[in-house]
Chain A
Amino acid sequence: MKAAESSPSAPSPAVDAAITHALFWLVAGNAMGTMIAVLLLLPGLNRLLGEWTYGRWMMVHMNTALYGWCSLPMLGFLFRTYGVERSALRLWGRPVVWLWSAALAVGCYSWLSGTSSGKLFLDWSGYARILFPLTMGALWLLLVFAFLGQRRNAEQARWRAAAAKLIGLAVLAAVPFALFYASSPDLYPAFNPDSGGPTGASQLESSLGMVLIVLVLPFGIARRLPGHARTLSLAWVLLAVEAAFCALLGRADASHRMPAQYIGLGSILLWLPLVPLYYRGFAWNCETRQWKQVFLCWWGLLVVSGWIFFLPGVLDRFKFTDGLVGHSLTAVAGFLTALLVFVMTQLIGDEHAWIFNSKWSFYAWNLGVLAYVMVMTAAGWIEGGNPGFTMAPGPLHHVLYFVRLLTGLAMLAASVEWWIAATQPFGRMRRYQTSHAGAIAA
């Protein structure tokens, strides 16, 4: 694929801000993860934390990963897709990114102060529980105005694209409310009575949500290539069928030992070949290649391991152990990170793709994650047979956790390199300011 064929990536302060803020949260999250890994090896250091105890830092670590690192690149994607950068409101993109980070910072402070709903990944409570959905509302308003502005300018002649964006806006409108209500201690989803974890149906539901995002992403940032219409249609039809199947499975508490649950979740394996085929239907920038390949590899590993970990016998062994911690890292640090870096590389264009393409940081990150997953799977396997392995740790446990710390340091170093590289072109930002100011004056 030639660079000239790919979609043009115009520079934008809003997208740049989304990327630099996302990387900041990645570095912060990794630094906290490293600190946590050190505390597990040297628990005596906990006394340095005072009131800000280990458990409170865990909340901050997990939530900054999800709502900072994993979310902010999607703001960049939305700015590009809804044409915020070209609209009259283009100067409000960066303020929304700032607002997002500010709301997350308030969240961090509230978790460190001991304000929590007690729900994993839905820890929003008190003031932060109102602030964060309001932030999402501000983003939504910006997207709406950008969309309406473009409609007025008749830039969107294609009704299908407009309709898709409208549906997107409708879905996004529900997110702040969903987050607010889901954070309530009064609501709790269906769970697997034999494991205490999610049911197969709910895992399928969240996996299909991820598939939906994977399918939507190319439309906002890449150009479709001719000759792939069938694959694209097949993917959307399959998603609809699986969604219907998921609805049939229902939302009741159900064990992973029920064939309907593990076979149902197994249907996600169909996406193993389909996602790579789907992504071939779009023109991507040349410099995105290595991250696209690695994201597809992580996708394969995630889908297969996710299903295997749910199978009867396997889940019984790994539930509540480091094995599933490793699996979570496959999802967030492996698959999601590779996908997000791939998206960001596409957003910033080939000219700036060097930010993410340094060889050592690429390998430090991906091999670090892989080693982490392997170490934690091994630790989880041992722990599954002998809980004392973790609760009264011995030399082998210490060795595995030390290796885990080293992998964490590798990931931290890679993320620091990306962040420094991304913040270097601040001169570029100033140039935008000047040019925007000039444009406004004109």
Chain B
Amino acid sequence: MRVNNITNGWRGAALVALTYIYFLIFAQFGFLARLTQAGIEGTNLRLVMGSMAAGGILLSLAVPRLRIWPQPALRLRLGFGIAAVGALAALLPPNTAGAALTAFIIGAGLGIVTVTLVTHLPQFTSTHRPILKVGFGVGLGYFVCNLPFVFEASPRQQSVLATFVCVAALALPLRAAVEESIAQPTGVQRLPFAAALGAFTALIWLDSAAFYIIQHTRQLKAETWMGSAHLWTNGCLHFAAAVAAALLLERSRTRLVLAGAYLALATACILLLDPAHALSASLLYPIGVSLYSVALVVYPSWLASAVSGDERARIAGWIYALAGWIGSALGIGMGQNLGHVPVAFVVVAGAAALALPQLELLRYRAREVALVGAVLGVAFVAHRAIDKHPAAAQLSIVEAGRRIYISEGCIHCHSQYVRPNSADVALWGPVEPIEEIRHQRPPLIGNRRQGPDLTQVGMRRSAWWLKAHLLDPAALSPGSVMPSYAVLFRDERGDQVVAYLVSLQSSTLEQQRALQRAWQPVSTPEASTEEGEQLYAQLCATCHEPHGAARQRWPQEFILMPTSLVENGLGHSYNLSLASVIKFGVPGTDMPGHEYLSDQQIASLVLWLAHNPVQPQLQR
């Protein structure tokens, strides 16, 4: 009995999954691509999409009122049949009038299927964890649509797939698994109609706008929906979020699901304002979409405060017509006209999506809200009154760079303190006088060296090297754990921080240079040419090989083009100070030091370079 109960219920999951596949990969995606291929754009495109919305809205509102074919199974078959006709019609060469008719048929089919399905889902899911089955169906639908061979299929192939989806749905045995009256779970948190309508409209609006913007911005699309890895990740995230949403809805956490969906979508929309964040946005977007999608499907049957089947159907009709079709159209319109989702709109959408929790917050936590609001306000006024920080525009480039150094938390990995009478002096020296340190506002001594000390970095590294390193640290310092700060170079901040770092150098430069020239590695009998060769390939080849990565990428930037060691080798006169050059670099050029290398490593490199001035192996 129990096994039957479980297996019967999977028809509900299959119906949900098939409906989603049809809607996502064809109605929302493949059909649009087909129109674009046929050159239907601008006003004509709007006309076609308007037809689809009209079909959807009309049938969503009409279905609950139709007295013919009262059986849900028949209505579903009718809806999938119409949808299949729409998918087949999309295979014909489209013109605007034909496409509008096809779009209307697609919308009408979807209107009938969605409203009928969500109204009568309990008939097909059985009484054993019906909401989880819906979550599984939604997740599966999204997962299939994100399979690379489905997502990247041609629009014609997607139309054929949509037809097969409808045929599969028509082939499903749609006899009611259970009577609806006994399939209603008790104890599930109900959501008032107005709150649900507001929340779903806001969420679908955000979703559609974000989807449209990503699809129509090349850079964003490349970061989110291109390549197998992205698609598999999206599919898995969709599936996991859908199942999580179902589990939460089963536990009466409806508001948490909607709040989570809003937070994910709102954050994704804000992140999309900056293309650098597209990847992060692409992780949040599927989570937000799947969270609310499950709630949207589950709502009419299990979360609405409906007392009869007719009322449930009417609620479903309004929700799918207004929130679904109109919310989606408004989102696409926003994407088309603005190209982004304004932050102010995200805030307004939050007010709608989270209306109920906010009202409850005000009702049960009025003191908390009042006190937090009052103190935030007082702090704002006080801040305006006493803040005397100089504006960024008033700062010199070095001062501005220092501010960025502080903002980015560089002190968490880099010290600016050379300890006197310690190994620091040779590596990062010279020592900075305490008076100079105290003169800084504030001193940036730091307490951790994940990377080198920067007290005198301007003496050890050229501006080009610093910039190249900030852009891609691992390219110049293999194995470096430092993150890329390429984001700073999209505006003036990158150059400012480079200017600041270059400014970090002492007036007692010559003394330090003499110290460095006199330096020799201690005797290291374990040094070997094998190790030297390995280090050369890792550290030196990038600049000293004709095809080295840094040399190729920055040919114009070097102060002095690095010697091509393959072509020119090393002069014998150079050998005497080679260890010092490797350790401390060449002043006045872009050649950096490798202060962190051990004496043995340096000796190995010297051995390799001195005895293999021309390296045919590396040329290979």
Contact = CB atoms under 8 A, between A and B. Distances in A.
Interface of A: 39-40, 43, 46-51, 53-59, 91-92, 94-96, 98-99, 102-103, 106, 111, 114-120, 126-127, 130-131, 134-135, 138, 185-188, 191, 193-197, 253, 316, 319-321, 324-325, 386-388, 390-394, 433
B462 interface: no
Nearest to A386: B598
A402 B441 CA distance: 37
Contacts of A321: 448-449
A196 B408 CA distance: 21
Contacts of B378: 134
A194 B598 contact: no
Nearest to A41: B481
Interface stretch (B286-294, B320-328, B409-417): B409-417
Given A55-B413, A91-B367, A95-B371, 9 more contacts: A43-B481, A92-B367, A111-B409, A114-B404, A120-B446, A131-B375, A186-B441, A191-B443, A394-B479
B513 interface: no
Interface in B535-583: none
B407 A114 contact: yes
B406 A126 contact: no
Given A99-B372, A126-B387, A130-B382, A53 B481 contact: no
Interface stretch (B197-205, B248-256, B274-282): B274-282
Contact of B371 (A138, A253, A316): A138
A43 B382 contact: no
A119 B371 CA distance: 29
Interface residues of B, number: 72
Interface string B312-331: 00000000000000000000
B419 A195 contact: yes
B444 to A, nearest CB: 6
6 closest A-B pairs by beta carbon, nearest first, are A55-B409, A46-B483, A114-B407, A196-B417, A388-B596, A118-B406
Contacts of B415: 196, 320
B438 A43 contact: no
Contact of A51 (B274, B595, B598): B274
A55 B407 CA distance: 8
Nearest to A94: B368
Chain B, interface SS category? loop
Interface in B244-278: 271, 274, 276-277
Nearest to A135: B375
B229 to A, nearest CB: 13
B420 A392 contact: no
Interface string B520-535: 0000000000000000
B585 to A, nearest CB: 15
Contact of A50 (B277, B380, B411): B277
B419 A127 contact: no
Contacts of A94: 367-368
A269 B601 CA distance: 43
A117 B479 contact: no
A191 B445 contact: yes
A193 B389 contact: no
Contacts of A186: 441-442
B45 interface: no
Nearest to A96: B371
A178 to B, nearest CB: 16
Contact of B368 (A49, A57, A95, A126): A95
Contacts of A103: 375
Given A118-B406, A127-B383, A193-B434, A54 B598 contact: no
A356 B407 CA distance: 37
Contact of A56 (B372, B409, B427): B409
A185 B442 contact: yes
A131 B283 CA distance: 33
A195 B448 CA distance: 12
Contacts of B420: 193-194
B395 interface: no
A118 B376 CA distance: 24
B154 interface: no
Contacts of B271: 50
Nearest to B387: A126
B391 interface: no
A391 B422 contact: no
Nearest to A133: B379
A117 B375 CA distance: 22
Contacts of A131: 375-376, 379, 383
Contact of B280 (A43, A49, A111, A117): A49
B211 to A, nearest CB: 21
